[in-house]
Each structure stands twice: as C-alpha cells, then as structure tokens.
Amino acid sequence: MSDQLSPPRTSIIMPVHGTEATVLRAVRSVLAQTDSDFELIVVDDASPDDAHRVLADHLAAHPDSRVRCLRNERNRGLAASRNRGLDEARGAWLAFLDSDDAYRPEFLATMHAHSPGVDVVAAAHDVVHPDGTRRRRERGPAGTYGGAEAQLMGLRDELTPYAWDKIFRSETVGDLRFPVVDRVEDAGFCIPLLGRARLVRVIPDSLHLYSMNPRSITWGSVPPIPDSYRFLAHLKAATGAHEGSEGQRDAFAVTWSLVFLNSAQSALRLRPDDLRGHLQACREALRLPILRRCLRVRPLFGAAGLLLKLSPALYIRLYGAYVRRAYGL
C-alpha cells in the first residue's frame, strides 16, 4: 500500500448513482490493482438506492485509507460528479471508472508501463453483454501520436472518446472539466484534452470491462436535442476545428454526424413519447454539406446519415437488426 501522506501516482474518480448491485464489484476491481499507488475518490451522486450504505458497510468492515467518499446532497449528474472528483484529486495521473464497470487487475500497472514521455494512454476494452458474453473492442491502431493528430482521430471516431479507457497526466488536464451535457460529456472532455497533449499513446491491451447495462445513462436515456447542440458549441469553442483546415472541418463533420445519429439511435431503442419529433430534429441537423464532408473521411457514417435523412423507414429496419446482432438489445 502506498504512503498516503504523499500524493498518489493516480487518482481514480468513480461517480455512483443507482448502482447498488455493481458498486462493490467496481471498487474491488480498483483495490485489486497490482499497482497499489492510487487513491479512489467515490462521489455518491445522491444515489436513490442503497449504494451508499453498501459501500459504507464494506469500508467499515474492510477499511482502506486509499478510498475517499464524497456525497452530493442532490443529484448533479455524471459530469458534475466527475468534476467534483477532479477538484479533490491529488494524483499525478487521473483515471475514471463508472460504478457499473470494472478494471482488470493490471489496468494501472500496464497503463503506467506505457506512460513515460506521454500525456494520455488509451487502452482497448471488453464489452460485457447482458448474457455475460464478452467481445473485445479497440478503436485506433496502437502507436504514439502527437496531440493535434490524436484530436483529429478523436473527432473522426478513430480513437475512443471515453474517459474510462484512458489515464491522463494531471498537469495536462489542468483546469479542463467535463461539460455538463447529457450523454456526450466524455467526448466534451477527451477531445479537447487530446489537443492539449504533447503525445498520446494507444495500446492494444484490453484492460477495462465495460458493462452493457440497459438501465445505464448511455443505454437508458435519450440525449436531448438542445444538449447535443450545446455539446457541439462546446467543441467548436474548445477545438476551433469547424473553421480550421479542410482536414479539421471534415473531422468535425464526422463528430456532428455521429452526435445526431447516436441521438436518433437512442430514441429508436427507447421509443420516447416524442419519437417522431426527435427523429425529425436529428434529420434536420444532418445537413447535406456536413454529410458530404463526413462521407469523405468516414463513408459508413456519412451513408448512415444520408439513409436516416432520406429514407428513415429503411434506416429504422437496418438499425434494429444491427443492435440485436451487435449488442443483444
């Protein structure tokens, strides 16, 4: 165990909300790390279930000075809870774990073996399906990239936009925080941060277990259209890609297209009362000049956007078949 009088090498930030059944698995996966030089900052986001009690009882029976527990008096959401953890973090490196996921025991040790000389390390992960089966997923070829190149890769969806499959050098993060938007807060943090980095290293090791939870924020909610536009405005301000080089504008068009494709897909899975209006708003957002740019660098995404815009009935049938095959949902 590390000496907690000195700052730990890594601060791991874990918001908790509605995960009574999985929070101990997540915490135990951190405490089982072969690299013990960390602190775990748990932020209970006014969880409506017994997650707080379950965790408190566990720590009372198994005290560990590396674990700090904070509690929001009201539900503030994932982004704000992570930001609170960032304000409290003391580590030279930062990591994030959702309380329905888990790390492999070698997550920190392997990530730090690749961290010298770089500001961000990104790993692959396993998708754990509701039936317990697993599928390895990695995005982006292994290698070391300059920050500007990595940011373009992130905008083009060639590098994951997630916070939980990476570690970040704290001094590079600086004052950057997660934007308080629904469902796209990870990309709103990671893509600007990639542009701040000197070097970003992508490794092929699968070190994180990502749970396909139909009740999670990702799979159990439809991102509001105004939040999607607020996220894109945030990225414009943070990256300037929308008015940069041709390559930057093409990359930003990919992100724009994916935001509204993903929003439409969420609505099709969950069937909200305003489904028709939500799909229409997504179709309007997928403007033809943006889709033409997207087609140049990510033809599949551009074609999907065109299909949703021009033939939504066919898009709906094809997307339903894809989700059943790929995710079992």
- Determine how many CB atoms are found less than 10 A away from the CB of residue 113: 13
The tens-digit pLDDT sequence of the chain (329 residues) is: 444 568 999 999 999 999 999 999 999 999 999 999 999 999 999 999 999 999 999 999 999 999 999 999 999 999 999 999 999 999 999 999 999 999 999 999 999 999 999 999 999 999 998 888 899 998 889 999 999 999 999 999 999 999 999 999 999 999 999 999 877 899 999 999 999 999 999 999 999 999 976 565 555 688 899 999 999 999 999 999 999 999 999 999 999 999 999 999 889 888 899 999 999 999 999 999 999 999 999 999 999 999 999 998 888 877 666 655 655 55
pLDDT at 2: 45
pLDDT at 44: 96
pLDDT at 4: 52
pLDDT at 1: 45
Question: Which CATH class, in words, describes the domain spanning 10-211?
Answer: alpha beta
pLDDT at 232: 97
Where are the chain's structural domains? Answer: 10-211, 222-322
pLDDT at 143: 98
pLDDT at 34: 98
